[in-house]
Chains A and B, each alone.
Chain A
């Protein structure tokens, strides 16, 4: 069994939401890693979708990140990773809606003929691996924000 590992296409990269403000100074990709002691739990885990956890703040010099969760204040620091971490996401084979989505893109960038050909190739490649799982590397992370101290009161 072979599980391919791929990379996002330039379209996917362009459409990915960019990190806001100072966070962009931490990462050269669209992702940031935040390390916590312990895990975040919701009293009702099923209802956590879209729920607010807290407020993350980062100064301009990106040296003093803070995280406020409820009445607790966590002070953190920025740590360089000894070895870079590649962040991968599991992608299921294309379902019907996503191929329609591709069609939408075609409408948007119709000015480039070369791009259209690429899209065709991409589509056929996707069809070939239909139903299969693949992992896509979205980022190479070199730094993380670590909150390792015990939370203090505000």
Chain B
């Protein structure tokens, strides 16, 4: 026994044309969508959205992931069909035999393409350009320029509107780029100023006889001292301490649990950053770094912490290999281009050939995962193997 349905165009078929779209969703997203559909009350409205200005390729953002959208044409057409609404069934109510006819199903739209989703890294190049010129380098500078009428910088909501990244990814990148939220505006903190604040935190800890403590540090006491003696506002201390640890409310006010590797890393970057053009000898650098972090934390100062921020080079003038000193050059990942092609070009301009473990730290932020990263390596580099292992060189290089 089969059931029959009368297939008709919907009563407002012309107006409905083009109002439907099909989105091919990956497995993880489809489970989430299914849950939202089944339980509409828990559906959070702002979690899923399409972002992009009229001149950009649109992306789809979930709470913490970004996908590119691409329309794929189909050779067949897909009819979007549903049961007829009352309106559709009454469209020809004049005919008396409505009841005898099979139930109606209506065509709302005919589609000849679907939208394909591919997970991508957030598109952040726009963030850099909009944040330029709103650097925060301490209260003294703030007073000098009379900026009170007109707050400098971009608000968080504006950034969320303009940057093609999900909220989770935006929050993470604002933390990584060390961007403060001051009076509702996004202000990247100047690296030199951040370095000063961190050093002040360590010296204050020592002078408050809290030196060596990494957990359960009273926030109010520390931030109060920083404010009073060094003009670091509490709101700045709060955000900085959140970047380098965790603030938890306790019985006697907020407590700060410091992340030692995070602090030590940032101080290391501060020590290394002047050596962009002038390499520093590795042991000299390590000594300076350990001095800057103080006795308590010097054990944590180790080069792997700074991965993706420096390049090493060997001194080739000495006679014996064992005498050769290693030099470090500051080479921050954040200063490199986000487009893979441009990134590889920059990398191969800096160096003509790279070892695998040397190049990977500089690719992690442009690839979603290690598989994507290897794909990029395959596409943009040529690999050769010699006695020292595998080397990557640029594709367009004359090999003789």
A-to-B contact residues, CB < 8 Å: 1-10, 12-13, 16-23, 29-40, 42, 46, 48-60, 64, 66-67, 83-90, 118, 125, 135, 137, 139-141, 144, 146, 148
Contacts and interface: CB of A to CB of B under 8 A. Distances in A.
Interface in B71-91: 75-86, 88, 91
Contacts of B1: 59-60
A141 B51 CA distance: 24
Interface of B: 1-14, 18-27, 30, 33-34, 36-37, 40-41, 43, 45-46, 48-54, 60, 75-86, 88, 91-92, 102-103, 105, 107, 110, 112, 114, 160-161
Contacts, number: 203
Nearest to B88: A50
Given A7-B43, A137-B37, A1 B54 contact: yes
A22 to B, nearest CB: 5
A66 to B, nearest CB: 8
B110 A58 contact: no
A119 B110 CA distance: 33
Given A33-B79, A40-B110, A19 B105 contact: yes
B9 A49 contact: yes
B45 A4 contact: yes
Nearest to B46: A4
Contact of A49 (B13, B54, B78): B13
A147 B130 CA distance: 52
Given A46-B14, A57-B3, A19 B50 contact: no
A84 B152 CA distance: 46
A20 B50 contact: no
Nearest to A13: B40
A4 B48 contact: yes
A85 B48 CA distance: 16
